[in-house]
Amino acid sequence: MQRIEWVAVMLDQWALWRLTGSTRMGGYSCPAYNIERVSQTDDVRAGMRRFDPTEDASALKTDQAIASLPRELKAAVLYTYAYDGGAELTAQRLGVTRATLHRRLCQADLRIAEWFDCRTHARMGAALVVH
């Protein structure tokens, strides 16, 4: 199974956002960040992080998509994109083989793509109802 390229690129961008935020001073590197709680959207609402809609909207959506993943897929994404060390060390941290890590990342890609697809169709449906 292969990774979905546009999802992998989006996860790379999300990882950068996690570390730096749109202002290069915020993101998840703020003191209020909790690795166990993926969706940090409430932090933005509470004013604990800055929010630049032009840069952060995509990352926040990606964050929500990751938060919706089952535990083992979410862990694979978090450990792959949040920590250094490459696939071998990430697999060790998770207690799985590299092949299992790759399979979980592929499954996470599929779920994330579906998450975005469902939101796109919901918006399109809502637009049709309004008109």
Q: Name the residue ranges covered by the structural domains of the chain.
A: 5-130
Cα distances (Å, whole numbers) of residue 80 to 30, 33, 42, 60, 93: 20, 18, 24, 18, 10
For residues 98-120, average pLDDT: 96
Query: In angstroms, rounded to a whole number, what is the distance separating the alpha carbons of residues 25 and 29?
Result: 8
pLDDT at residue 33 in the model: 46
Mean pLDDT to the nearest integer, 90-99: 97
Percentage of the chain surpassing pLDDT 70? 65
Query: Is the predicted pLDDT of residue 99 greater than 50, yes or no?
Result: yes
Mean pLDDT of 104-117: 97
Span 88-105, average pLDDT? 97
Q: Where is pLDDT greater, at 120 or 86?
A: 86
Per-residue pLDDT at 25: 43
**pLDDT over 80 (residue 50):** no
| Structure-token match 């978090």, residue found | 78
Q: How far is CA 9 from CA 6, 42, 62, 64, 86, in A?
A: 5, 25, 11, 16, 16
pLDDT per residue as tens digits for the range 7-46: 999 999 899 888 775 544 444 444 444 555 455 555 555 5
The DSSP line for 21-76 is -TTSS-GGGSTT--TT----HHHHHTTSS---HHHHHHHHHHHHHHHTS-HHHHHH
Residue whose C-alpha is closest to residue 112's, from 87, 78, 85? 78
Q: Residue 17 and residue 42: Cα distance in Å, rounded?
A: 16
Q: What is the pLDDT of residue 98?
A: 97
* Per-residue pLDDT at 85 exceeds 90: no
DSSP state of 95: T
